[in-house]
Structure 1
């Protein structure tokens, strides 16, 4: 259950229906705007269509943020694509809307976070940490991150996988058509077929946090003593298949 009370849809039919609904609604709104543009000047018609693009992105972001999984990853991919189909003054706003899917998606509430953690650790959170922020520092397509402090004083990042997101991801992987429709709706310049294939190949790997921990340890060793690249150390004793704990390191985003 998300903070706004809407549950994560996990079945293929429900997820397809949710995406189809928002795409259909936006298609109808675009048609209405174009019909109204017949009576407008070229300048006013262009402004109305640009506004419609931004409003559509906002509604799509809201939908994908609640769906999580591969559907949301399509939005994340689209946020990196050039928006040449929009006038320059609208491009940053449009991409900012999509970029929010990379770290500022709707987070699951603390009660659900705590349930996942204690299922994985089989111990109360309070016995393992000096303190634990109940609010997520970041939330994305498969999980969210909380800041915490170990009894020895170390600050750590705790990444928790959303309950049922594995089922949602597998449903998305069975429906490449849905993914391609979303990609085309969000970023006409994105190679929708290639994006769907890339997601199919890579996204299920992201469900295995133990595999991610193994890779992170390997990169940490490879980049040890590098002048400007630092890979946070994994706290192995607290990392599980749905929980990844690493040291907390402040950094800067790629954008």
Structure 2
């Protein structure tokens, strides 16, 4: 009887701890998503009162329509999309200018300015709510789009500044010196040389700030109240109160609508995001 050489016997590969950890994290993320989809399909008047693990009906479209039109979450969805795009982009541009000033311009004590700007990420947001509410009430900015845009843009600056400044510090100084020898002004140096070189970092910072503004609830419920101004997360809490008696399916359908934009942004720009994070971590 011929024996198979031991070198040809296939051996079972034991997954590494890293693989097990990643699979566990993926499972922890997929299980709530599965429950969200399954229970959002149940008709609101037929909800059994406890989460269902097995799909029963196909009322997802009806629940989505109810959440979008009848519960008026569509207006707040467009508000948040406007806030996230405009304020995220404005915050990234201001942060890039601040990083350029700290790294390139001959400003005195650049390290001090770095910590002054970056300190905006250290303090908890709750400590700003009372002064902001009083200031907005006195300045007639409460429950206005301009008021939310100002706080969202300012909120986006410190962390975006941290990412962009780290990437800008890795650029070779010879690039700046050569451009200045050719007569380039600081404005041209920023817009035509540094901004194109920093596109991955700018993209990663924008994705972070888009997600942060989109997921904001604290400022939304504190500084606004009307559906024409409220962001979508604040509207989702209103949906929870208004449709709580009809069961979670409509609320879960609204949560499904809310989760789509950030997922699409990450899927569409994941390559740019990874390049930006890698460049900022050097």
Report if TM-score (shorter chain) is over 0.5.
Answer: no
Which structure has more relative contact order (CA 8 Å, sep 6+)? It is 2
Q: TM-score, normalised by structure 2?
A: 0.30
Higher strand proportion, which one? Answer: 1
Higher helix proportion, which one? Answer: 2
Q: TM-score, normalised by structure 1?
A: 0.32
